A and B are shown apart, each in its own frame.
Chain A
Amino acid sequence: KQEVTQIPAALSVPEGENLVLNCSFTDSAIYNLQWFRQDPGKGLTSLLLIQSSQREQTSGRLNASLDKSSGRSTLYIAASQPGDSATYLCAVAAWGANSKLTFGKGITLSVRP
């Protein structure tokens, strides 16, 4: 059974810092990995999706990498801003495009002005 872990549960950094959020998964046989942002009491906003054949994806100040063999992904946020404060979740799809997503618990990020 796939397990997705995100440690630490919370992180507080000063504005401007570059930071890395980690995600690990137990079964390396994944179809894709998706990073989401969740603001308090809100829905999930897709940030980046990495297919199993890819190593990384970039969007603006965000870069996500995937190392399937070691069961790890990282989300890199450059030059963090207070508006980046949110919970970041990673989720993996097992066998195909229609596979259910298995989520981590998320990392709650606070960027201090």
Chain B
Amino acid sequence: EPEVTQTPSHQVTQMGQEVILRCVPISNHLYFYWYRQILGQKVEFLVSFYNNEISEKSEIFDDQFSVERPDGSNFTLKIRSTKLEDSAMYFCASRGDENTGELFFGEGSRLTVL
């Protein structure tokens, strides 16, 4: 069964460092998303992406964050200068062109900022 894959599964970084989280969405999907979940809190929306541009972003998604689809298969989330409060599980999701709106999530990348 097709799935969304994310790398790395866990990354530890020092505060102020740049981090890139990678995602390979399901191959025929057109809409891509990043969500995050701080330990013990709700899953929160960060950004949606379609046709090579951001469709919607949350207040969390400030200038420190950026997304890119560098080729036909990868979708990346970059955090330019990590802060302690960026420590969270980051989930990539994708959906196809049908109008059901059903999202398929990856296993997540755990980011720990020291």
| Residue ID in chain A nearest B106 by CB atoms | A43
Contact yes or no, B56 A100, CB < 8 A: yes
Taking CB atoms and an 8 Å cut-off, the chain A residues in 60-107 that contact chain B are 89, 91, 93, 96-106
Contact of A97 with B42 at beta-carbon distance under 8 Å, contacts A43-B91, A44-B91 already known:
no
Number of interface residues of A (CB under 8 A): 26
- Residues on the A chain within 8 Å of B108, using CB: 42-43
Contact yes or no, B43 A49, CB < 8 A: no
Task: Say if the beta carbon of B48 comes within 8 Å of chain A.
Answer: yes
| Residue ID in chain B nearest A36 by CB atoms | B105
Stretch at the interface among B68-76, B77-85, B93-101: B93-101
Min C-beta distance of A6 to chain B, whole Å: 10
Contact yes or no, B42 A98, CB < 8 A: no
Contact of A98 with B101 at beta-carbon distance under 8 Å, contacts A43-B107, A43-B108, A44-B91 already known:
yes
Q: Chain B contact residues: over half helix, strand or loop, or mixed?
A: strand
Contact of A102 with B103 at beta-carbon distance under 8 Å, contacts A43-B91, A43-B108, A44-B91 already known:
no
A106 to B58, CA, bound (A): 21
Contact yes or no, A103 B105, CB < 8 A: no
- Residues on the A chain within 8 Å of B45, using CB: 100-102
Contact yes or no, B103 A32, CB < 8 A: no
Contact yes or no, A46 B102, CB < 8 A: yes
Q: Write the residues of chain A forming the contact surface with B, with a CB cutoff of 8 angstroms.
A: 31-32, 34, 36, 41-46, 49, 51, 89, 91, 93, 96-106
Q: Write the residues of chain B forming the contact surface with A, with a CB cutoff of 8 angstroms.
A: 31, 33, 35, 41-45, 48, 50, 55-56, 58, 91, 93, 95, 98-108, 110
A34-B103, A41-B110, A101-B35 known; 20 other A-B pairs, CB under 8 Å?
A: A32-B102, A34-B101, A36-B105, A42-B108, A43-B106, A43-B107, A44-B43, A46-B102, A46-B104, A49-B101, A89-B43, A93-B101, A97-B98, A98-B31, A100-B33, A100-B45, A100-B48, A101-B45, A103-B44, A105-B42
Rank and list the top 10 A-B pairs by shortest CB-CB distance, nearest first. A97-B101, A100-B45, A43-B107, A44-B105, A103-B43, A97-B99, A49-B102, A43-B105, A103-B42, A43-B108
